[in-house]
Chains A and B, each alone.
Chain A
Amino acid sequence: MTTVNAVLASTRAELLRLRKWPALWVMTGAWLLLNVMFVYVFNYLSYTTGSTTPRGEGIPKEALLAEMLPAAAPISAVQGLPMFGGAIMMILGALAIGSGYGWGTWKTVFTQGPSRLATTAGSLVALVLAIVAIVALTFVLDLGLSTLVAATESQTIVWPGLGDIAPALGGGVLIASMWMLGGALIGTLAKGPALGVGLGLVWVLAVENLLRGVANLLGGMDVVTDHLPGTAAGSLAGGLGAGGGTDGTPGVFTTLDTASASWLLVAYLVVFAGITAVVVRRRDLA
């Protein structure tokens, strides 16, 4: 088997077991539900009742409606990924890779033929493909809901152009993949999902924000906080058009420009995947 064939074989194998993994569907469902609630349900209620929800305050009704129309669907689908979506993707990576140590499946897989590197590459590629599917599914769902909103509110339907869709979805896949690979790395280092899930959540949801708070007090710290994974992810989302700031989606920033944020995400992605591969390759599976 050539290396390419070995990676392809591993990817096909992992896709089969991921597709039939209930946890993947639960996480996908949780993500879609959060997306629908925060982008459409709460905003729509706020828009129709005129009540002041935390998000509704200070935002003109027209702006609120614009966020729910088809033209905004590409951004709607990915704006939650830097933070809560990222947390879910991190859990996905940690569970998918870490659980194999408890189940004993890695020892079975590593004796099938493909090298450990090919196996690891195949697993990570399969997970990225799963993310591509999840992001695409989110977009389709959001496009449908936004069309419904437009029809209900008698708005002219303006479809998003390919020039809006491709960067938004591509950016979303990049952000989600970075978090997923971070989870996969912690799951690999910890040889189990629990520590990876726990540490990852604390990092994504709390530590980065605390560090940003510290950076406001200490000069020089902002060089570090401006380049954290969450900052890069949030900046890319912000650069793509997601509304950030105090009123906007949590975890969305405009700290870095789109290009720097993208390259930084790619760098994190490569480093996370690289360390995972090296650790898996060198480790004794006892």
Chain B
Amino acid sequence: MTATIVSTEHLTKRYGDRAAVDDVSLTVRRGEVYGFLGPNGAGKTTTLRMLLGLVRPTSGRATVLGRHPGDPAVNGRVGALVEGPGFYPYLSGRDNLRVMARYQGIGDAPVEEALARVDLLERGKDAFRSYSLGMKQRLGVASALLGDPDLLILDEPTNGLDPAGMSDMRRLVVDLAAGGQTVVLSSHMLTEVQEICDRVGVISNGRLLTEATVAELRGATSLFVRAEPADVALAVAMRVAGDDAVQVVDDGFRLETGAKNAPVVTQALVEAGARVHEIRPSERTLEEVFFEMTTPEEALR
């Protein structure tokens, strides 16, 4: 039993001159929910396709469950939904899953379980082509769940789902991880990744920009302070938190200091004669981090 479920080393895929995936080295550990985050066209899907053996890397290598991607022994233990669900339009949702169950050499019982998990039991008899986008997506996830795989690779699993469906899907992923399954999911929805992922890989233009826990990415908590007069407040803030630890934002300051220092800062401000309008712990959202990372520097200037 190895703790690393997926690892890639310098994984690269070129289409002509264009590198869709460029030198990506990432690691997914057993039992975690790994968020693969990036704008559309960043290389998320191509990377996931390489992990499934659907696409051959141009260079570099990937290991999934200790073997080459696409090895039959690996594919049997991986469940996947990549770039939209692909099913026979004329078959019912249930029959589509039965076909996949036959490919896996398992019986029909897991089909009913999978349909139940994504809430499609009632519509299971209807033709796939009559499904809404969200139902198709849910069937795709159900198919990934068949055979109780060790690793689930879900490409934009909430695509096309309404808010309730998204929330159901997030709960499902959290449940799966709690049950010991490792989940790799890609998304361009930061809130989703923030809520359910343990670790995140951020990819843009084919390159992996960073790989870290959500908390690491967002950085330490800081304090947001809005007080008047501004010059007095700024002086106090710099005295308490340190000269480099104060940032002027919007109509206040951000102090790089823990939330537990709020009373100390408040007291210092009041003693200096400042009127405090607002003081609260402040965390950068993943969204802010993400845009800082993925926006080209020239665009920021």
Contacts and interface: CB of A to CB of B under 8 A. Distances in A.
B273 interface: no
A62 interface: no
Contacts of B52: 110-111
A29 to B, nearest CB: 16
Interface in B129-160: 143, 147
Contact of A112 (B87, B95, B104): B104
A50 interface: no
A118 interface: yes
Kindly name the residue among B83, B84, B103, B105 whose own CB sees the greatest number of chain A CB atoms within 10 A: B103
Contact of B103 (A9, A21, A23): A9
B72 A109 contact: no
Contacts of A20: 90-91, 95
Contacts of A45: none
A103 B136 CA distance: 12
Contacts of A285: 49, 54-55
B161 to A, nearest CB: 19
A111 B54 contact: yes
B78 interface: yes
A272 B169 CA distance: 44
Contact of B90 (A1, A21, A114, A119): A21
Interface string A91-123: 000000000000111111111111100110000
Contacts of A22: 90
Interface string B75-115: 11011101111111111000100111011110000000000
B49 A114 contact: no
A113 B102 CA distance: 10
Which label, helix, strand, loop or mixed, suits the secondary structure of the A interface?
A: helix
Contacts of B55: 284-286
Interface in A29-66: none
B56 interface: yes
B49 A13 contact: no
B131 to A, nearest CB: 13
A252 to B, nearest CB: 35
Interface residues on B, range: 20 to 34
Contacts of A284: 54-56
B47 interface: no
Interface residues of A, number: 32
Interface in A237-262: none
A281 to B, nearest CB: 10
Kindly name the residue among A6, A22, A103, A113 whose own CB sees the greatest number of chain B CB atoms within 10 A: A113
Nearest to A8: B105
A120 B141 CA distance: 24
A118 B104 CA distance: 12
Nearest to B15: A286
B204 interface: no
Contacts of A115: 72
A105 B87 contact: yes
B92 to A, nearest CB: 8
B125 to A, nearest CB: 12
Kindly name the residue among A14, A16, A108 whose own CB sees the greatest number of chain B CB atoms within 10 A: A108
Contacts of B79: 111
A107 B100 contact: no
Nearest to B95: A20
Given A1-B72, A6-B72, A286-B55, A113 B103 contact: yes
A10 B54 contact: no
A118 B88 contact: no
B124 to A, nearest CB: 14
A108 B91 contact: no
B84 A104 contact: yes
B70 to A, nearest CB: 8
A138 B126 CA distance: 32
B57 to A, nearest CB: 10
B143 A114 contact: no
Given A6-B72, A9-B105, 6 more contacts: A1-B72, A17-B88, A103-B88, A108-B100, A110-B52, A113-B72
Nearest 10 CB-CB pairs, A to B? A104-B86, A113-B76, A13-B102, A112-B103, A285-B54, A9-B105, A13-B103, A108-B86, A284-B55, A111-B80
Interface of B: 46, 49, 52-56, 70, 72, 75-76, 78-80, 82-91, 95, 98-100, 102-105, 143, 147
